[in-house]
Structure 1
């Protein structure tokens, strides 16, 4: 699943989509404004893996890599269509639970095949999708800003950076780099939680009633 050209190009555009969607959750960008890019990236990440599947000729590694890209592609398409149509997010939330489960399986497959970094990254991506499940399907309150920061930071450091390094051919996948990825991910989780709990200026201007 790691190291495939389709996956690597997809990582770069996934990074941009995650950053923009993080800004949507933080209230910086509107959902409708982000919808066209979600639809473009989602379409790309459905078309490219489909072409890869056609050309796979039974190569199980290529098929598995393409199948993982679909998870991102369908998510972005779902987000974009929901924003344009004004549909509620429950369906996307339950789909996110399905993707969370798939992410855990992909993480295990990566680990068993010696892919230490991507085993870690899939766990954090699964955690992000689980947050979407909590927000949209379960309607958990008070985690929007935490989820927004986590989406934005994961987009930069666990999707964008690996994508560039993979394309540049300088992304060693070893137990050491896997440990570094785990440490970075935990730091991003903590930073996102702290930033998500921090009060905004408008909170001070409009204090809650006693």
Structure 2
């Protein structure tokens, strides 16, 4: 069930990345955030209830709530127009927790790839903190590329591979994911310059006239 949720986390991160690039409005992205946010609250609750008291399974499920609350908050703010500062500071909490879950995944669970993935999520949620809590609005397009790219790299593709039975946790795969994550971080700003939606032309102004 957690893997199915991860598949849709990938989808919502891509949509939110496109939103930050200016191609989708916050209100337009709100429904998917609400759907996935609700799923990411229901899924860990189910996993914890049926974990039979296993601390490892409970710990893995507990981390999903951070993402569920994030997407619900994004969806609510998109509909209401409420300010994002609170969500920004919550994102810092998520980033710190993600580092802890990375260590837990690597040391206790022995899952090296998801140890790397948790670290990449820590980077992304730190970027959300910079954008929303500290109002680094100029970073929005680059963070949009980073969010969309991580949606594919850390969520959608791993979930699909796990569901298809093609997933293999190994040092090599962990290094590949880490390298791709660093590459994505490096190219986010350059790519954002060509992927950002053009600014709307004011009514009554001819294109190319400023």
- Relative to the length of structure 1, the TM-score reads 0.90
Matches within 5 A, 1:33-52: 33-52=28-47
Looking at structure 2, the residues matched to 67 and 75 of structure 1 have their Cα atoms a distance apart, in angstroms, of: 14
Looking at structure 2, the residues matched to 169 and 98 of structure 1 have their Cα atoms a distance apart, in angstroms, of: 33
Which SS does the other structure have where 1:70 is aligned?
A: helix
Q: Aligned residue pairs: how many?
A: 202
Residue of structure 2 equivalent to 1:22 = 17
Compute the displacement of 1:193 (Å). Answer: 2.2
Seen in structure 2, the aligned counterparts of structure 1 residues 199 and 163 have a Cα distance that, compared at 3 Å, is closer
Compute the displacement of 1:167 (Å). Answer: 1.0
Which SS does the other structure have where 2:134 is aligned?
A: coil
Compute the displacement of 1:168 (Å). Answer: 1.4
Looking at structure 2, the residues matched to 193 and 137 of structure 1 have their Cα atoms a distance apart, in angstroms, of: 20
* Structure 1 ranges of 4+ moved more than 2 A: 196-203
Residue of structure 2 equivalent to 1:31 = 26
Larger mean CA deviation between 105-114 and 10-19 belongs to 105-114
Residue of structure 1 equivalent to 2:156 = 160
Looking at structure 1, the residues matched to 209 and 142 of structure 2 have their Cα atoms a distance apart, in angstroms, of: 20
Compute the displacement of 1:188 (Å). Answer: 1.2
Which SS does the other structure have where 1:138 is aligned?
A: coil
Residue of structure 2 equivalent to 1:61 = 56
Structure 1: 5+ residue runs without aligned partners? 1-5
Seen in structure 2, the aligned counterparts of structure 1 residues 126 and 206 have a Cα distance that, compared at 3 Å, is farther
8 Å contact from structure 1 (residues 146, 196) kept in 2: yes
8 Å contact from structure 1 (residues 143, 196) kept in 2: no
- Relative to the length of structure 2, the TM-score reads 0.90
Indicate whether 1:124 and 2:116 are aligned.
Answer: no
Looking at structure 1, the residues matched to 122 and 192 of structure 2 have their Cα atoms a distance apart, in angstroms, of: 19
Seen in structure 2, the aligned counterparts of structure 1 residues 199 and 44 have a Cα distance that, compared at 3 Å, is closer
Matches within 5 A, 1:189-208: 189-197=185-193, 202=198
Looking at structure 1, the residues matched to 152 and 187 of structure 2 have their Cα atoms a distance apart, in angstroms, of: 14
8 Å contact from structure 2 (residues 2, 43) kept in 1: no
Residue of structure 2 equivalent to 1:172 = 168
Looking at structure 1, the residues matched to 35 and 209 of structure 2 have their Cα atoms a distance apart, in angstroms, of: 38
Looking at structure 1, the residues matched to 180 and 121 of structure 2 have their Cα atoms a distance apart, in angstroms, of: 13
Structure 2: 5+ residue runs without aligned partners? 200-207
Looking at structure 2, the residues matched to 40 and 126 of structure 1 have their Cα atoms a distance apart, in angstroms, of: 23
Residue of structure 1 equivalent to 2:204 = none
Compute the displacement of 1:135 (Å). Answer: 0.6
Looking at structure 2, the residues matched to 81 and 192 of structure 1 have their Cα atoms a distance apart, in angstroms, of: 27
Looking at structure 2, the residues matched to 57 and 201 of structure 1 have their Cα atoms a distance apart, in angstroms, of: 49
Residue among 54, 67, 74 paired with 2:69: 74
Indicate whether 1:149 and 2:153 are aligned.
Answer: no
Indicate whether 1:98 and 2:98 are aligned.
Answer: no
